[in-house]
Structure formats: structure tokens, C-alpha cells
Amino acid sequence: MAEKLSVSPDMSRSAMMALFGPKLEFNKGLAPFTSFKTGGSARYFISAQTVDDVAQAVRAAKKLNMPHFFLGGGSNLLVSDQGYDGLIVRIDVRGLELIGEVEIECGAGEELAALVDFAAENSLSGIEFASGIWGNVGGAVYGNAGAYGGDIGSVVAEVTLVDSQGEVKTVGSEYCRFGYRDSYLKTSGEAIVKAYFKLKKGDASQIRQRIDEILALRRDKHPIEGRSAGCFFKNIPDPGQPHRKVPAGRLLEEVGAKRMAVGGARVFDKHANIIVNTGSATSNDIRKLADMLKKKVYEKFGVKLEEEVIQLGKF
């Protein structure tokens, strides 16, 4: 993604739009598309509502040797204040459909909350753990989102992708190589456009009860309407701990994280692993605060925290 654009300086907007299609936008502000509400503009931007839209954008970017980034719900993303000197392809492929008795086909642009509700409406269990997680389905698959002992990778059956050549393919879950808050898709350069989930039949009232319980737990620990990306750092693997992880928030709490702030960015008072934009933060404020938190934890515990949040652009 650090490659230089090979777009000719005299290439007109009309010529660019002839190549990318009429949905191409120029110098599009990215802050509204992220939960932090910070960051600069993208040189080029396309909102892709269909699989073909995504494939066309990838083929055009490849032709121009143009760096590109696939944007989902923006709930786990920190965009540089300088913006992004390339093409942003916002994946907005929608649709939820029941296949057979226990499988769901879902557009990658659907909100994760919509998938959880759709499953509950059809008395399907197995994805309740995702209740209250911000963002869309594509981003959740990309980062193997999870909570309360569950993760997306455990219920994915297949994924439809657009590869780096602009070709469409459907692969099984094993292709994704899911790990803790990770997948092969983070390095393959492919766009997730649809996902297929295999769940199990359950009791509708019990499913709803579990969803309500998880949402209540989240309300106690997470900012409801705050400008945040949820947990900023990954938990630390430890087989001897519940869910085989040491919560990063526990270490951050012990180094006094909740008293820390930089500019308009501060640590959330109910959860030491959450950074919030109080309204005036820049992406640089958030990055500086995160670096301070990492340093404090390393100095006290010798643990190097790893970001869950994806960073885009130059910092």
C-alpha cells in the first residue's frame, strides 16, 4: 500500500470516472465513516453496493497501480489526519437470506447487529456473543471479531471474496485461517463481499434472553454513543486464564490508564482498554495516547500490547 500512484497528472476526472464508473468520488472525507470520527480525506473513494462494483474498482485500481483499502463499518479503524493517498472502496453489499434450515447468507456491508437479530428471528443460535459489537459483517470476519468466549470464525461456513485481480471466488472457512482477532484475509489483499454462517436451531426466547444479557453487560462497560473503536488492544494469550486470555484492560487499569488523556482523546472511565474521542480529538491525539499506554504497560509488566484497531495512512 506504500506504492506510488501511477495516475497521470493530466488524467481528467471524466477519464477516471470512465475507468472506475460514475460512483467514483474525489477527496472524500473519511471521518464520518469511522467510529472515532477523526482522520483526513481519501484521494479517491467508491461506495460499492454490489459484488460487481467491488470487482470493477479492484480491476481499475490494478490497471493504474493504485493502492487501495477496503472500508467496512469503520468501527475498528484509525485514519491518519493526513488522509489516504489512494482509493478507498467502501464495501456496502447488503442482504440477509436464510439458506436451508441453519445457514445464513449475509452481505458484507450489513451491520453485525442486523445479522444477530436475523438469526434470532429465525431461532438460530451460535452468534449471540456478537450482540452489541459495532461495525459490519465484513469487518467482523476480516478481524475475527469476538467476545464472551465466542468468535465469528467459529460460525463462518464460506466467504465470497474479490481477489487482487478483481476475480470473484467463494472459499471455505479453512481458507481464512482464523486466529485470535486475526485471519489470513488481513494479508491476502482480498475483499470480503459476502459471508455464509452455519448456526444451530435453538429456542427463540432463550436466544433473545442471552442477547439481552450480553447487551446489558456491554452497557455497563462500553460507551453507548461515544466516539470509540471499542477495545483498542488485543488481550494477551494465557492458557491458564478464563477464555485463555489476560484482559489487556486489567493491565491498563493497574498502570492508571483511566487518568490518562492527550488532547481530545482520553481513556474511557469504565474500561481502561477503550479510548474515546471527547469531541475534539485528532487521530494523532489517539495514536499518541495509545503509545503512552503501551509504554506504561511494557515498563511495568514487560508485555508489549498489540493493537486490535487498524491504522490507515501516515502517522
State pLDDT tens for residues 168-208.
999 999 999 999 999 999 999 999 999 999 999 999 999 99
Q: What is the CATH architecture of 96-205?
A: 2-Layer Sandwich (3.30)
* CATH number of this structure's domain 224-312, picked from the four choices 3.90.78.10, 1.10.150.130, 3.40.50.11540, 3.40.50.300: 3.90.78.10
Count of Cβ atoms closer than 10 Å to residue 129 Cβ: 21
List every span in the chain annotated with CATH 3.30.43.10.
Answer: 13-91
Q: Which residues of 7-46 are buried (b: 16+ CB within 10 A; e: fewer)?
A: beeeeeeeebeebbeebbbeebebbebbbbbbbbbbbbbb
Q: Which residues of 138-173 are buried (b: 16+ CB within 10 A; e: fewer)?
A: bbbbbbbbbbeebbbbbbbbbbbbbeeebebeeeeb
Average pLDDT over residues 75-80: 96
The pLDDT tens digits for 219-256 are 888 887 779 999 999 999 888 887 788 999 999 999 99
Is 267 a residue whose pLDDT tops 80? yes
List every span in the chain annotated with CATH 3.30.465.10.
Answer: 96-205
* Per-residue pLDDT, 6: 56
Give the 3-state secondary structure of 201-236. ECCHHHHHHHHHHHHHHHHHHCCCCCEEEEECECCE
List every span in the chain annotated with CATH 3.90.78.10.
Answer: 224-312
Looking at beta carbons, which pairs linking 22-31 to residues 24 or more positions away fall under 8 Å?
23/47, 23/48, 23/53, 28/88, 30/71, 30/74, 30/79, 30/83, 30/84, 30/88, 31/79
What's the CATH fold of domain 13-91? 3.30.43
Average pLDDT over residues 5-22: 77
Query: Considering the entire predicted model, what is its pTM?
Result: 0.92
- Split at pLDDT 50, 70, 90, the class of 8 is low
Is 2 a residue whose pLDDT tops 60? no
